[in-house]
Amino acid sequence: MPKRRHRRRTLKRVKESGVLIRTKEVIGGQVMNPSIEAALLALKEKALEATRQGDSEFYRHYLAEGAIAVGPFGILDKEGIVAQMASGSTRFRSSKIEDTRVMALSSQSGLVTYKATFETSNEGGAKVSSMFVTTVYAQIDGVWQGVFYQQTPLQK
């Protein structure tokens, strides 16, 4: 009985935060550890902050060697992603993240998906863009790393 109460409290905190997390996932007959989802959410937040700051060195370590990104910018490999971060073209002034969902795919992989609205500015003025974003993570040599990233712009 105490485990059930604990699960309800955890689920209540998750619901209050506005983040949907599958707290119990059965894969291959094993119950997934909710700490996977927490780790992936923390990585998402760090990646957003690194993008906001233009921190290309973060991305050099955050991304797996074979990582790719797909979006309006084209298809980029890890070096292309790091170069794009270093260029400053991906920085944004503010962001609004909604409808975040996390799913463990296995004990060593998972994904985070959400709707993002970014406000950017450059010589041309301010621009607001909304998109769906998905990042797939894998645990490689005990470290969680981004392996795939996709942006899908929303219709205006």
Span 88-138, pLDDT tens digits:
776 677 789 999 999 999 999 999 999 999 887 666 777 888 999 999 999
Cα angle, residue 39 at apex, residues 46 and 132 outer, rounded to 5°: 60
Show me where the domains of the chain are located.
Answer: 19-153
Does residue 4 carry a pLDDT above 90?
no
* Residue 3: pLDDT band with limits 50, 70, 90: very low
pTM: 0.74
pLDDT at position 27 is 39
Q: CA 136, 139, 141, 145 torsion: positive or negative?
A: positive
14 near 100, Cβ under 8 Å? no
Tokens coding 71: 């979006």
51 near 92, Cβ under 8 Å? yes
| Range ranked top by mean pLDDT from 6-10, 28-32, 86-90, 129-133 | 129-133
CATH class of 19-153: alpha beta
